[in-house]
Amino acid sequence: MKISVLAITAATLVLAGCGQNSSQSDQAAAPPAPPAQATPDQVKTLLAALPAPYSTGDVVNGKAKFTQCAACHTTVQGGPNLTGPNLYGILGRKAGSLDGFAYSDALKAAGWTWDAPRIDAWITNPHAVLASTKMSFVGMKDPKDRADVIAYLAVATNPLPK
Ligand code: HEC
């Protein structure tokens, strides 16, 4: 009885060792890791760069509401394009400018640079901004939710301040 318990323990250790090795090599091949958690001070600095009402947005609610966007958009640096383009660095990025994403002609020709009020109008109703956009999103009706999503984007799509 004692011997078989030891044998099982040894086998478990060996298996655990193998598991660890294989998960390490999986990690090496995996896509870029999510950004480090922003500290409260870093969140404050990033929000302070926004105009009102976005500067006082609720990042936690914004993150929750961003699930409506996450079906089509990633936020991390080097994240993949899905149905929509990766949004890393979106505040201050020229509309329709990410290499390797097949934008609509309308967004490619838009000519503006995204700032908080532009994104606000866009996610209220993208088709009201550009009738022939490829972004099929019904729109986010609550202004506070939109401000919160933009506050979240400021934290999730910018490099963290030192
Ligand atoms: C059903 C998929 C889908 C959803 C949901 C969606 N988007 Fe998009 N988004 C797109 C597509 C597709 C484009 C490119 C539009 C074009 O080329 O006309 C786009 C473009 C954008 C752009 C402009 C990007 C650039 O590089 O110029 C922003 C900003 C954006 N989306 C933000 C959001 C936010 C914020 C939400 C959630 C509130 C959201 N989107 C929801 C598909 C989606």
162 vs 33, residue with greater confidence: 162
In b/e form, how buried is each residue of 96-127, taking b as 16+ CB within 10 angstroms? bebeeeebeeebeebeeebbbebbbebbeebe
Q: Is the CB of 136 under 6 A from ligand 1?
A: yes
Q: Is the CB of 157 under 6 A from ligand 1?
A: no
CA of 13 to the centre of ligand 1 (A): 48
Contact yes or no for 87/157 (Cβ under 8 A): yes
CA of 161 to the centre of ligand 1 (A): 26
CA of 44 to the centre of ligand 1 (A): 26
Place of tokens 């409260």: 40
Q: What would the mean pLDDT of 87-114 be, rounded to a whole number?
A: 98
- Mean pLDDT (the chain) is 85
Q: What would the mean pLDDT of 57-76 be, rounded to a whole number?
A: 97
pLDDT tier, 29 (very low <50, low <70, confident <90, very high otherwise): low
Nearest to 156 by CA among 45, 40, 46: 46
**pLDDT score, position 162:** 86
Q: Is the CB of 158 under 6 A from ligand 1?
A: no
